[in-house]
Every structure is written in C-alpha cells, then in structure tokens.
Amino acid sequence: MIIIADSGSTKTAWRQISNEGVIAEANTMGINPYYQNTQEIAQMLEQSLLVQWPGVEPKEIYFYGAGCSAPDKQAMVEAAIKEVYPNSKIEVHHDLEAAARALCGDEPGIACILGTGSNSCLYDGQEIVEALPNLGFILGDEGSGGYMGKRIVQAFLNNELPADIHEAFQKRYNLTRDEVVDHVYRKPYPNRYMATFAKFLFDHRQHPFVYQMIYQSFSDFFEKTIIKYPDYQQYNVHFVGSIAFYFGDILRKVAQQYNVRVHHILESPMAGLSLYHQQKIVL
C-alpha cells in the first residue's frame, strides 16, 4: 500500500492506494513550505492525518505540493513527512507534476493550476519540458483565487466598486482597512485569506462589473503564462483547481479570445493521479 497526496496552499487530499484502487481517503489543511517550516508541517500532520489514519504504515508516500519545485523546499516537506512516517520511502514533487499527469496523461499539452494560487507548464507526454517562473501571491498568481480576492478587496477599500456591489460586500464581510492589513501583513497565509473572497465573486458573477473583474483576472493569466509558451495554440490546454472549475464558463470565453483549445477542466487532479500510481503498482 502507498499513500499519495495532492496539496495546494489551502487543503491537502490524501489517498491510500493499492493495485486494486483507492483504499481510503483523508483531507488536511494545505502544506506550502514557503509559509510553513518543517516542524509546523509535521505537527499539523500528527494532529490531523494520524488522527484520521491511526496505525497506517505505507510502503511509499508520493507527495505533490504547491511551493515544492525547489530542492530545498522539497527537502523541508520530506523531512516533515519523515517525522510522521519514519519507515516509508518518501518522494516530494511539485504540484505541476500532479496536474500534468492527471490532465495530459501521455499526450503533450499545457497543464495549468488555478486554485488558491496559479501555475502552468508545458508537458511532452512524459515530463515537464518548460515551466514559467511562479512569482507567488505578492508578485504573481494571476487568475487565482488569491489574485481575484486581492482585486475585489482593493476595489472595495478604494471605493471603486459600484454602489450595489459595495453594499453587498460590506454587508457580507463588514471589512475594515485595519483588518485587511493585519491579515495580509501580520498573519500567516495571506493568499488563503484573499482567496476566501473569490466566493463573493462567484455569487455575483452575473453583475457586469464583477464579470469583467473575473474575465480580466483570467486574461492576465493568459498574458503572463499561456501565450509565452512556444506554439501555444497548437496544444490542448488543460486546467485543474477550484477557480478553473467553478468559473469554467468565463475561462473558456477568455481562451477563445486567445484562440486556445481548452480540453479538460477538473476541480482536482486526484482521480487521474490515483490511476497513474495504481498502474505503477501493477507494473
């Protein structure tokens, strides 16, 4: 039996896999080595995953996570998991690898993540051949929940929202400038905090102002990532993540503007990832 995990900054999905398929499922908070150190990750796993799966001793663990592209960050996460499962073989991979394997299979394509954060890569059917730099929540993450949340909060605090949307936003959240500044500059996980406001955008997406904000956020993602890949219009482009999934109709309209072929849009890569590792166990 092996364990696979797919982690964004907000949540982590865990699966126990055998050659017969998924044995058990669990969910914990997200893991991102840019926001948590090794001890914090290990403590979270001990208090959540071990509680859900007491006594489990997997042979191997394959962890795919946001922020796990650099070797030093991979080492941080590996060390944390090793504290919890000392007898398991552990591999830590970037979440882009999970997305590419789940979305593209063995076909070339461009795989994109649009969740709390955003990312993308060019996949040749076997491995990632190019991935543009991910500048994170402060400098990048275009098209993500964090990016959209940041835009609506900025517009609210700067009194740039239409009166009806401003009133609805104020009634729902009762936000103050000091509260926002505290969350963004003093508390951990500002990206998660901002991403919570994407739900407001979804609920009001029929409003012309909100629709245009969503549309522009996706357009920014295409401008900063998709169109920079060589011959990008020759590939199927796939998306995974809650933002891509729930705003899929708008995302497809933006793609049409850039003459991009959108194929799969999945909320989670876990089903495809589970199948990938199940087949490896059989082999």
| CATH code: domain of residue 13 | 3.30.420.40
Task: Answer yes or no: is 204 within a domain.
Answer: no
| pLDDT band at residue 126 under the 50/70/90 scheme | confident
DSSP state letters, 257-269: HTT-EEEEEES-S
Tell me the HSE value of 111 on the side-chain side, using a 13 A CA sphere: 31
Task: Answer yes or no: is 207 within a domain.
Answer: no
Look at residues 87, 61, 70, 84 and name the one whose alpha carbon lies nearest to residue 32.
Answer: 70
Instruction: Dump pLDDT digits (tens) for 178-199.
Output: 888 888 888 777 888 899 999 9
The pLDDT, as a whole number, for residue 137 is 65
* Model pTM score: 0.78
Tell me the HSE value of 53 on the side-chain side, using a 13 A CA sphere: 18
Q: Please give the C-alpha separations between residue 276 and each of 21, 65, 273, in angstroms, as whole numbers.
A: 10, 17, 5
The predicted model gives 26-51 an average pLDDT of 92
Residue 105: both structure tokens together:
């299979």
Q: At what angle do helices 71-84 and 38-52 cross, to 10 degrees?
A: 40
The predicted model gives 15-23 an average pLDDT of 83
| Structural domains counted in the chain | 1
Task: Answer yes or no: is 59 within a domain.
Answer: yes
Domain carrying residue 13 = 2-98+270-282
Task: Answer yes or no: is 51 within a domain.
Answer: yes
CB-based burial of residue 263 (10 Å sphere; 0-12 exposed, 13-18 middle, 19+ buried)?
middle
Task: Answer yes or no: is 187 within a domain.
Answer: no
DSSP state letters, 80-104: HHHHH-TTSEEEEEEHHHHHHHHHH
CB-based burial of residue 215 (10 Å sphere; 0-12 exposed, 13-18 middle, 19+ buried)?
middle
| pLDDT band at residue 143 under the 50/70/90 scheme | very high
Task: Answer yes or no: is 42 within a domain.
Answer: yes
The pLDDT, as a whole number, for residue 150 is 93
Strand ranges for 132-282 from DSSP E? 236-240, 261-266
Task: Answer yes or no: is 242 within a domain.
Answer: no
| pLDDT band at residue 140 under the 50/70/90 scheme | low
Task: Answer yes or no: is 227 within a domain.
Answer: no
| pLDDT band at residue 280 under the 50/70/90 scheme | confident
